[in-house]
Amino acid sequence: MSKRKPNSAHARMVRYSRAMLRTNHVAVLDLESSNLHTLINWKSAAAITTNARRALVDSLCDIPHNWTIYLAGLHRSPKGEHYMKSEELALDGIYLAAHLEDVIGPRAEVLRATCNPKHFVGMAWIAMPYDTTLTETHAAYIFERFGAWSAKEAA
Q: Which comes out higher in pLDDT, residue 2 or 44?
A: 44
Q: Are 30 and 37 in contact (CB under 8 A)?
A: yes
Whether residue 105 lies inside any domain: the answer is yes
Per DSSP (E only), the strands in the chain are 26-31, 36-41, 46-47, 68-76, 82-90, 120-128
With a cut of 70, say whether residue 155 has pLDDT above it.
no
Tell me if 154 is assigned to some domain. Answer: no
**Structural domain includes residue 91:** yes
- Domain around 31: 9-145
How does pLDDT run across 56-72, given as a tens digit for each residue?
A: 999 999 999 999 999 99
Number of domains in the chain: 1
Q: Residue 2 falls within a domain, yes or no? A: no
Q: Is residue 88 a part of any domain in this protein?
A: yes
> Is 31 inside a domain boundary?
yes
Return the CATH number at 107: 3.30.1490
